A and B are shown apart, each in its own frame.
Chain A
Amino acid sequence: MTELLIEFLPVAMFLCLFALFLTGYQITFALMATGIIFGLIAVAVGALDIGVFAGIPENIWGQVMMNDTLLAIPFFTLMGLILERCGLAEDLLETIAKLFGPIRGGLAYAVILVGSILAATTGIVAASVMAMGLIALPIMLRYGYDRELSTGTIAASGTLAQIVPPSLVLIVLADQLGRSVGDMYMGAMLPSLLLIGLYCGYIFITSLISPEKLPPAQNSFSPSLQHRQIVIASLPIFLLLFYGAFLLFSPEKAVLFSITDTSYDQLIIWIFVLIGLIAIPLFYNLKGQKELSDILRHLMATIIPPVILIFLVLGTIFQGLATPTEAGAAGAIGALILAICKKRLSFSLLKEALEKTAKLSTFVMFILIGARIFTLTFYHLEGHELIESLFGHIPGGAIGFLIIVNIMIFLLAFFLDFFELVFILVPLLAPIATKLGIDLVWFGVILGLNLQTSFLTPPFGFSLFFLRSVTPDKDYTDKITGQIIGKITTTQIYKGVLPYIVIQLIMVALVIAFPELTYIDTAQELDMSLIDKQLPILPPLTDPVTRLF
């Protein structure tokens, strides 16, 4: 009888946890209480020793407090919050929408581009979606963009923050999978760029099939200048920035001058890029086109600071100059400097940002503490073996496992936030994945993409709530044109994100099919002869003093 009870305890734990979750009790306490109450029951029936509980403080100390990886969470959050408060999103949207607007579908491209830049800087989904819903949506509606397309694009682009490095999801996943955050960022880089490309491709195809959904906007820069002129003049700026980005992410390509140290080569190229950037508006100024020069300067003033911040943070991580944690802290200080330069820094801004950061990191870390206490008992009751035997019999090997796990997480993500999912489920799934020969970075990127999709899925997707909270639910009069613009219905938002969910699922399938996308080395065997060569031959010790030690 007792043995049956002990066998049943891990199952009961999960059921009990799920029941507590559904009552809406605080998740961290639900986890903690299930772990401890069931631990006490197990002690009472003699399945566990009371000494198991002594592992709790050890665990919190070693896994949670001393955790260097998760230390990045407050820093990246602080950086994002400061950038959000100093109006980065608003500035970017205004400028880029002006630049892209007159192209067919331009406003949609602008939303995707701004969404990606915000994702790589602020990394806060709520902030991106709300800012774009407040600023870009009225402009899109004014020019008669399709409602479903506009809302869908905004929700999807805002959600990019979940997967584009430096995202918190990837940090948490890296921590739980036991891989370095740098690897995880590197792995997510190409898939997220592809994802942005697919979004743009969707807009492009729509503009070919039904151009009436994406009418071009008016040129709003200046009446005397043609839009084409501005675009051509600003093209070199973008090219230079792309070149800079290319250099940063593939440092070995920077050997142009073959000076011994690559970093000096890069420095020289960077100086050239900067001189080029400054020279462009100067050139037009000297040519007598003062207006164009002013527009270009304004454009650069809005685009370049966040781009530099991205380079500073991601570049230092990829080049190994700083750990992701330190890069996050440097990014936060960079954001602070940016806010000072924009003259938007105040004590209350900093205080609010710090308070919000402290609260967010507290709730994340406390879910982890709860999950640790839960898994401690769960492991001692050998629940992980139960799960392993459950998942070990999935047909289809690694691919079958990935498909089943993804479907499961996709469904669970309707109810659970990604922190809970990652902290509770991933430690259970990671050993099985390793046994099946799945690279954990690959696994992490797939999970990240999947969790990002859950932000978009009706009816509980967070992005949809964020967008709904800022879209007009009554007909309103446009301030500039004076025409009456209809309200946005929730159904329109739901229909709008559907194509993007399909794109997301295609992307998940692509990454499962082509693991190379995540930069993992599938086969890199050690060349023993090379290692032998690198060992220096040490001179024999002659000095009597050194010989003594």
Chain B
Amino acid sequence: MIDMKQKIIYHVLKKWDFIVQRVFYILCGLLFICTLISSGNVILRKFFSFSSNALLELQWMFFSAVFLLGAAQLLKEDGHIRIDIFYNKFRPSLRRKLTLCLHIFLTLPSLLVVFYMSLPFWLNAFMPLSPDQSWFHYLFFDQSHFEYSPNAGGLATPFAKMVLPLGFLMLIGQVISEILKLFLCISDD
């Protein structure tokens, strides 16, 4: 019975890791496009006297998507930087228990707070829906209800603001996945 449970958890964890990895590959592509846009901006401005606020905004919108959504992948690979003067000298089992405790009692609640706060922040970028509109129409046809960036010719912000809660949601998912992995490790010890 316990084995069955563990198997299911393993399976779910594997699926989740796969999704995070795929998202990260997409982000790498996004980063490359971002580089192209940014260098394209210089060339357009210098040689064709053309500049567009939309293109300028696209740069940081893409980049913020990269680092907010990429944080989960970084956590998966244990890439977030730490000070390892003492950490390296701990026994692996102690290291695991310490990380598990801190993940559960510090990181998970604080990430939840940030996520909870960023949701209304994102939703406020949409103007309220009037009763005669359908959501579908609202999202895809009538974009006058979106909040726009204050720059002339700026882009609609809801899509950029979306990555904030989404990124933290992915991070929460990854922290839970790490916690489960550590539980499985510790129960194996």
A415 adjacent to B161 (CB under 8 Å): no
Q: Are B46 and A71 in contact (CB under 8 A)?
A: no
Tell whether, in the assembled complex, residue B114 and residue A363 are in contact, meaning their CB atoms are under 8 Å apart.
Answer: no
Which residues on the B side are within 8 Å of A32 (C-beta)? 107, 110-111, 114
Q: A26-B80, A325-B59, A361-B66 are in contact. Are A36 and B110 (CB under 8 A)?
A: yes
B31-A357 in contact (CB<8A): yes
> In the complex, are the beta carbons of A23 and B107 less than 8 A apart?
no
Asked if A54 lies at the interface with its beta carbon under 8 angstroms from chain B, I say yes
Q: Is the CB of A24 within 8 A of B83?
A: yes
Cβ-defined contact, B83 with A416, below 8 A? yes
B27 interface residue (CB < 8 Å to A): yes
Known: A32-B110, A33-B110, A67-B60. A415 touches B83 (CB 8 A): yes
| Interchain CA distance A223-B178 in the complex, whole Å | 62
Q: Is B102 within 8 A of A25, CB to CB?
A: yes
Q: If A32-B114, A33-B110 touch, does A24 touch B38 (CB 8 Å cutoff)?
A: no
- For residue A287, CB closer than 8 A to chain B, the reply is no
Mark interface residues in B109-145 (1 if CB within 8 Å of A CB, else 0): 1110110011011100000000000000000000000
Which size bracket describes the interface of A in this complex?
35 or more
With contacts A71-B63, A321-B42 known, is A58 near B121, CB below 8 A? yes
Whether B74 contacts A366 by the Cβ 8 Å rule is yes
A65-B64 in contact (CB<8A): yes
| Complex CA distance for A21 and B109, rounded to whole angstroms | 19
Is A29's CB under 8 angstroms from B106's CB? yes
Q: Decide: B102 and A365 in contact? CB cutoff 8 A.
A: no
A85 CA to B106 CA, complexed, in Å: 39
A83 at the interface (CB under 8 A from B): no
Whether a CB of chain A sits under 8 angstroms from the CB of B54 is no
A106 to B87: give the CA distance in the assembly, Å: 43
Asked whether B32 lies within 8 Å of A354 as measured between CB atoms, the reply is: yes
Taking the complex as formed, is B67 at the interface, i.e. its CB lies under 8 A from any CB of chain A?
Answer: yes
- Cβ-based interface call for A128 (8 A): no
A contact residues around B43 at 8 Å (CB) = 330
Contact of B60 among A40, A57, A66, A362 (CB under 8 A): A66
Q: How many B residues, CB 8 Å from partner?
A: 60
Residues of B within 8 A of A322 (CB): 42, 46
Q: Which of A316-375 contact B (CB under 8 A)?
A: 316, 321-322, 325-330, 332-333, 350-351, 354-355, 357-359, 361-363, 365-367, 373
Whether A36 lies near B109 (C-beta < 8 A) is yes
Q: Which of B32, B87, B120 has the most CB of A within 10 A?
A: B32
- Majority secondary structure, B binding face: helix
For the complex formed, measure the closest distance between the CB of B161 and the CB atoms of chain A, giving whole angstroms. Answer: 7
Instruction: Please name all residues of chain A whose beta carbon is closer than 8 Å to the beta carbon of B52 when the two chains form the complex.
Output: none
Chain B residues numbered 67-112 whose CB sits less than 8 Å from any CB in chain A:
67-68, 70-71, 73-75, 77, 79-88, 90, 95, 98-99, 102, 106-107, 109-111
Given contacts A32-B107, A53-B117, A329-B42, A363 and B102 within 8 Å (CB-CB): no
Residue from the list B68, B86, B110, B111 in contact with A23, Cβ < 8 A = B86
Q: Of residues A57, A66, A354, A367, which shows the largest number of chain B Cβ atoms within 10 Å of its Cβ?
A: A57
Across the interface, which residues of A come within 8 angstroms of B118, CB to CB? Answer: 56-57, 60
Knowing A22-B83, A75-B38 are in contact, say whether A65-B28 is a contact too (CB < 8 A). no
Q: Is there contact, CB below 8 Å, between A326 and B80?
A: no
Least CB distance from A48 to B in Å reads: 13
B160 proximal to A (CB < 8 A): yes
- A30 contacts which chain B residues (CB < 8 A)? 106
> Bound complex: CA of A64 vs CA of B77, how far in Å?
23
A35 at the interface (CB under 8 A from B): yes
Q: List 13 A-B contacts (CB under 8 A).
A: A22-B86, A24-B84, A27-B82, A28-B80, A33-B109, A57-B122, A61-B161, A65-B160, A71-B63, A354-B29, A361-B63, A362-B71, A366-B71
Q: A65-B68, A329-B42 are in contact. List 6 more A-B contacts (CB 8 A).
A: A33-B102, A60-B164, A65-B160, A329-B34, A358-B66, A361-B63
